[in-house]
Amino acid sequence: MHPARIAVAGASGLIGSALVRSLTAEGHHVVRLVRREPAGPDEARWDPERSFVDTAALEGCDAVVNLAGAGIGDRRWTDAYKALVRSSRVGGTRTLARAVASLDRPPRVFVNGSAIGIYGDTGDRPVDEDAVPGTGFLPELCVEWEAATEPARAAGVRTVLPRTGLVVSRAGGAWGRLFPLFLAGLGGRLGNGRQYWSYIALHDEVAAIRHLMDRADLSGAFNLTAPQPVTNRQVTEAMGRVLHRPTLLSVPAPALRLALGEMAGDVLGSQRVLPTRLLQSGFTFAFPGIEDAIRAA
pLDDT score recorded for residue 264: 60
What pLDDT does residue 267 have?
Answer: 62
Predicted confidence band of residue 269 (pLDDT cuts 50, 70, 90): confident
Distances (CA, A) of 80 to 98, 125, 152, 264: 26, 33, 29, 17
- Contacts of residue 185, defined as CB under 8 A and 6 or more positions apart, other chains included, come to 245, 246
Q: Exposed, middle or buried by CB within 10 Å (0-12, 13-18, 19+), for 149?
A: buried
pTM comes to 0.94
232-260 burial, b if ≥16 CB within 10 A, otherwise e? bbbbbbbbbebbebebeebbeeeebbeeb
Q: How far is CA 34 from CA 95, 107, 163, 214, 280, in A?
A: 14, 19, 23, 24, 35
Domains defined for the chain, CATH in brackets = 5-296 (3.40.50.720)
Residue 262 is predicted with a pLDDT of 60
- How many C-beta neighbours within 10 Å does residue 179 have? 18
CB atoms within 10 A of CB 2: 6
How far is the C-alpha of 22 from the C-alpha of 24, rounded, in Å? 6
Could you count the other beta carbons within 10 Å of the beta carbon of residue 133? 15
* Residue 255's pLDDT band (cuts 50, 70, 90): low
Q: Which of 75-89, 172-186, 200-214 has the lowest mean pLDDT?
A: 75-89
- pLDDT (mean) for 217-224: 98
**173: closest CA among 297, 22, 87?**
297
pLDDT at residue number 186: 83
Residue-wise pLDDT tens digits, 125-153: 999 999 999 998 899 999 999 999 999 99
Strands 63-66 and 5-9, sheet pairing: parallel
Q: Give alpha helix (H) positions in 79-185.
A: 79-86, 92-102, 137-147, 150-154, 173-183
Amino acid at 196: Y
Residue pLDDT, tens place only, 5-44: 999 999 999 999 999 999 999 999 999 999 999 999 899 9
